[in-house]
Amino acid sequence: MESIQSEKQTFTSLIDLASERIGGKALVCSDDFFAEKENLLKPGRGIFIADKYTDRGKWMDGWESRRKRTPGHDWCIIKLGASGIIRGLDIDTNHFLGNHPPFASVEVCNLEGDPSPDLLQTEKAEWVEILPKSHLNAGSQNFFEISNDKIWTHLRLNIYPDGGVARLKVYGEVYKNWDIIKQNELVDLAAAENGAKSVLCNDMFFSHMDNLIMPGRGANMGDGWETKRNRTPNNRDWVIVKLAHIGEIKKILVDTCHFKGNYPDTCSIEGVNLSETKIDLSSSDLKWTEIIPKVKLQADHEHFFENQISNPGPFTHIRLNIFPDGGISRLRLFGIINNKK
């Protein structure tokens, strides 16, 4: 299979199921002599530092095995941060030029719990190939569309015969078993690991809207959603999040962690309940319902709202408005699910 050499694929708007940010882990590999397997799942595309070396050779920001002098190929087994349906792959060989693998393939399996690396290397794992042995270009994002609607928990990246891969992105749709959620149990409906997705915003000049719904608190000021300085009087910036499940919102957290001289002055939150998926979320015809009115924010602070909620829903999407501009680190929407399946 030839990779899709395009800067923008539809599936790249989905969540990266393998990202370390949502719990993805490189569990075991055949060899990572030159560069550690854990680098595969880090954010971004990897960097290059010309004069940086280790006692094993050139430092590389990726997973790199030594030159294979025996039969076979190298491989790495990864536990997805969230189980789900895989829609596309990006096998990125950024900065690997004379040392990239010319071919790769990908297999997946579905194992509940926390299987050991040893078990994952036995036939009990029942690996299924979703990407046959395919050509990789050097120093490139190699995109592959995947047609398979099954749910997977683990992935094995095979490279032929050896070499280096900077990053592996596994784009897909999170699967969460909502049947195990108890009635009236509070769940973060805006959590990426539960299946929520930031789908649209008017501006994300400094940092991406997806950061808003990632686990944990922001690591730094770049780990949030930040818009550029806007000089328009009474400006409003906004971001829309598709909730992980339709639900009623009972408690809200707006966290401005690390945003000190650039936090928004105020914010408000609105919701909408959409039965159709193919709707223009930016349309002025949509009737948004106020969840919390415009409230003042503080620098580098966790703001909790409960009594301020005027309408809990149920909603499928929310819109966070900030005035006039600035940065928000995290948004949490704790609620109870509706229309339980």
pLDDT in tens, 51-110: 999 989 899 899 999 999 999 999 999 999 999 999 999 999 999 999 999 999 999 999
Per-residue pLDDT for the chain (341 aa), expressed as one digit of tens each? 656 554 457 899 999 999 999 999 999 999 999 999 999 999 999 999 999 999 898 998 999 999 999 999 999 999 999 999 999 999 999 999 999 999 999 999 999 888 999 999 988 889 999 999 999 999 999 999 999 999 999 999 999 999 999 999 999 999 999 999 998 899 999 999 999 999 999 999 999 999 999 999 999 999 999 999 999 999 999 999 999 999 999 999 999 999 999 999 999 999 999 987 778 888 888 999 999 999 999 999 999 999 999 999 899 999 999 999 999 999 999 999 986 44
CB burial readout 294-324, b (16+ within 10 A) else e: eeebeeeeebebeeebeebbbbbbbbbbbbb
Its sign, for the CA torsion 132, 5, 138, 23, is negative
Let me know if residue 333 belongs to a domain.
Answer: yes
DSSP string, 213-276: GSSSS-SSTTSSEEPPP--STT--EEEEEEEEEEEEEEEEEEE-TT-SSS--SEEEEEEE--S-
Residues 192 and 125 reside in one and the same domain? no
Residues 123 and 267 reside in one and the same domain? no
Q: What is the mean pLDDT of the chain?
A: 94
Structure tokens at 260: 């000190």
Rg (CA), the chain: 22
Contact 224, 259 (CB under 8 A): yes
Q: How many domains does the chain have?
A: 2
Looking at 123, 157, 174, the residue that finishes a domain is 174
Let me know if residue 1 belongs to a domain.
Answer: no
Strand, coil or helix: 277? coil
Angle at 220 between CA 282 and CA 207, to 5 degrees: 25
Domain range for 91 is 10-174
Residues 212 and 76 reside in one and the same domain? no
Residues 84 and 100 reside in one and the same domain? yes
Residue listed under structure tokens 């399946």: 341
- Give dist(CA 46, CA 96) in Å, integer: 10
The CATH number covering residue 236 comes to 2.60.120.260
Its pTM stands at 0.89
